[in-house]
Chains A and B, each alone.
Chain A
Amino acid sequence: MYKKNSHYCCPVYEALRVIKQQQVQLEGCPPESCFSSLLTKITRTDTIPFMLFTESGVFFVDSEQTKEHEAFSTAFFRLEGIKPDSYQAIISLLKPFNIHEEITEDLKDLYRLERTSIKLKIDLCKFCAIKCLDIKLLSKKKIIIEPKC
């Protein structure tokens, strides 16, 4: 029997802890700064995006409409903080776009991700799996559709 709220009952905890460590290495000065780390300069992002899975499937979150954003649904997140004692984490929602600059929920249509300030506290023990995504999804710029008219 696994103890409640232990590493064993939170299979995603260890992965998130490593993500957090790696993400710290990406944080700091912007990539254009002489003083940013080489890793930041290469990756040009401060985020390792991921998806979470519960026993019933992909974990989706519906955002509410804000001043900055229309309401959208996403399965893509950024780790903001982790509390080892309570096995809780703060994640932020990443806004998912396809090549047509439309919101997509489908991983196979995903072209780029955009950071948002919408944060959420989650109980890690609810999740049975985690999938990391390509960090380039965050550094891709908005697609240009030409000619414009």
Chain B
Amino acid sequence: MFVDETIVFLGSQSSGTSRDAIKAAEEMGYFIVLLTNKETDLKEKKSFFKVQQIIYIEDLLNLETIVNELDSLETKGKKVKAILSFIDPFVSLAAQLTNRFGLVTLTVDALKTMEDKWCSRERLKNNPSTPYYSPCSIEKPVSEMIHKYHKLLPLVVKSPRSSGSKDVLLVETEQDFIRAISYFKRKKLNSHIIIEEYIDGPQYLVEVFVCHFEVSIVAIIDQEVSSFNRFIITGYGIPTHLSTDAQETLTNVVKKIVNDMGLEHGTCHLELRFVNGKWKLIEINPRMAGGAMNRIIYEATGINLAKETLKLYLGKELSLNPIRKKHVFAQFVTVHSAGRLLKIKGIPKAKNYDGIKEVYVKPSIGAILTPPLSMGNRYAYVIASSDNSFQAKKMAKLAAKEIKFYLEPF
């Protein structure tokens, strides 16, 4: 391995999947470059200490600027071997750069489509897993919208560019509908929103690898959704308790979706609900899930999915076969009141429960905590592993209860 063989990351979170990928790249002996549009990343030496070079680019969506930076890296003796991102909306851009630099051939079009919820729905409009959806201009009078949709309530109203459940609202009444429209008007995110049928049923996350047309379902994860009028996932369990039949139909449905999407080489994750024996696609994203997902899958199967993603982008042979079978549950912690964080209690106690693999607390003292409006407002998680799912879930929930945030109200 030459020291100048380089992996370039477009954006990274300071924890979770993208950071796990950086760690894996370091273990594989690559020189790591992080291109970021966040000035704060330049100071995050502790989080990114495995990154040898961080380059700040104000407009990280500007392909030509990035190409110039990468050319400049190559003139300095760095051989770029892979360019990738685990962050929306840089996934398809990284794939575009990958193709341009003649590395592996990724399906840019499919990845780009998945970055936009509306384009995804349109691409899959004839797929049986697609629920009812409709575009809606927020400039239209609200009364007209209510007239059109009130018979279809409850509905889900979302922005085409939402991620992490941000800007995805459950609308149960006409009043909710008016509030949702006013929310999107205030946020000025997009002139159009998507109105979708609300699917009520258990939700599952499916991690998918596509390697030269061959679709592999790497993991199916049970999701616990806490829904007020936002969809926040507070629990993840693996393996699921799906029947063989349901798993079989899920495999076929996922393969059909990936095929219709046109993904030939790359990764994605899907969220589906199972209702009356039928699978309905909630959303599809052009990357593996972020946050704790890599660790959850690793603890359950021994597969380091972030590392396998690197290998896919490097054109190396994948190892997607489980090396262990454990029951794993991850419990996330949210708060119901807003305030400034003064103190965090209970971390050592949480770590002491049987089978606890990780206790992670995100905010620092002084941070503002709020009730969840998106997945980003989940402030801690606990991952527990056991030989049975009941025990893993019980331990994760008990340990998570030990974590207490002391908040100074406003």
B320 to chain A, nearest CB (A): 37
Render B390-410 as a binary contact track against A, CB cut-off 8 A, 1 for contact. Answer: 000000000001001111110
Give the docked Cα–Cα distance between A34 and B226 (Å).
Answer: 43
Q: Choose the segment among B118-126, B198-206, B328-336 that binds chain A (4+ C-beta atoms closer than 8 Å).
A: B328-336
Chain A contacts of B336 at CB under 8 A? 146-148
Among A146, A147, A148, A149, the one with the most B-chain Cβ atoms within 10 Å of its Cβ is A146
User: Which listed residue, B334, B401, B406, touches A145 by the CB 8 Å rule?
Assistant: B406
CB-contact partner of A149 in B339, B401, B406, B408, under 8 A: B401
Q: For the complex, what is the distance from the CA of A142 to the CA of B410, rounded to whole Å?
A: 10
Given contacts A99-B342, A99-B343, contact A141 B408 (CB under 8 A): yes
- Residues on the B chain within 8 Å of A146, using CB: 335-337, 339, 369, 404-405, 407
**Residues of B within 8 A of A (CB-CB), count:** 16
Question: Is the CB–CB distance between B409 and A145 below 8 Å?
Answer: no
With A99-B342, A99-B343 already in contact, the answer to whether A145 and B408 are too (CB < 8 A) is no
Chain A: interface size category: 10 to 19
Interface hits, A1-47 → B, CB 8 Å: none
Indicate if the CB atoms of A141 and B409 lie closer than 8 Å.
yes
Q: Do residues A143 and B404 form an inter-chain contact, with CB atoms below 8 A?
A: no
Contacts A99-B342, A99-B343, A149-B401; A143 near B407 (Cβ below 8 A): yes
Q: Give the nearest-CB partner of A140 in chain B.
A: B408
Let me know if A144 is at the binding interface, CB within 8 A. Answer: yes
Main secondary structure of the interface of A (DSSP, over half): loop
Best-surrounded residue of A99, A140, A141, A144 (most CB of chain B within 10 A): A144
CB distance from B280 to the nearest CB of A (A): 31
Specify which chain B residues have a CB less than 8 angstroms from the CB of A100 in the assembled complex: 406
B406:A147 contact, CB within 8 angstroms: no
Chain B residue at minimum C-beta to C-beta distance from A111: B342
Chain A residues within 8 Å of B342, by CB: 99, 143
Cβ contacts B56-82/A at 8 Å (1 or 0 each): 000000000000000000000000000
Going nearest first, the 4 A-B pairs with the smallest beta carbon separation are A146-B335, A144-B407, A141-B409, A144-B337
Known: A143-B408, A143-B409, A146-B339. 18 other contacts (CB 8 A): A99-B342, A99-B406, A100-B406, A141-B408, A141-B409, A144-B337, A144-B406, A144-B408, A145-B404, A145-B405, A145-B406, A146-B336, A146-B337, A146-B404, A146-B407, A147-B334, A147-B335, A147-B401
What are 7 A-to-B residue pairs whose CB atoms are below 8 Å? A99-B343, A99-B406, A143-B406, A144-B408, A146-B339, A146-B407, A147-B334
